[in-house]
Amino acid sequence: MDYLFAATVRLVRLGDTYRLGANTAPPAELIEEQERLKATLNKWIGLFKDFDTRHPEQVNQVSKAFVMTRYESSQIWHAVAFFPFELAYDRYLDRFGRII
């Protein structure tokens, strides 16, 4: 999850120009990176849930809360990486609720 969280932060930073600057669309390479990250995050959560189901004794609840906070944050940030409007975050209120 640390790698995926760092990749998400990187994508968001690369999106600063398109989110905060001129109203231009991000290049195809960034959109492709966003899609790859989305797919990888979706695969990660499936694997994590499977592991947690099969080996619940192996997952400390505090550690699980920490890693799930990073997962939910990554899901939100990668999805809005190029949106110029803060209202885009409103689409993810359910995810914010899970973080809290």
pLDDT, tens digit (0-9, with 9 covering 90-100), for 35-44: 999 999 999 9
- Residue numbers of the domain that contains 77: 2-99
What is the pTM for the complete model shown?
0.82
Task: Report the alpha-carbon distance of residue 85 to residue 44 in Å, rounded.
Answer: 28
Question: Shortest CA distance to 76 belongs to which of 90, 64, 57?
Answer: 90
Number of domains in the chain: 1
Residue 3: pLDDT band (50, 70, 90) is very high
Instruction: Say if CB 33 and CB 11 are below 8 A apart.
Output: yes
Helix (H, G, I), strand (E, B) or coil at 55: coil
Question: Shortest CA distance to 78 belongs to which of 48, 33, 44?
Answer: 33
The pLDDT mean for the chain works out to 87
End-to-end CA distance of the chain: 19
Task: Report the alpha-carbon distance of residue 27 to residue 19 in Å, rounded.
Answer: 13
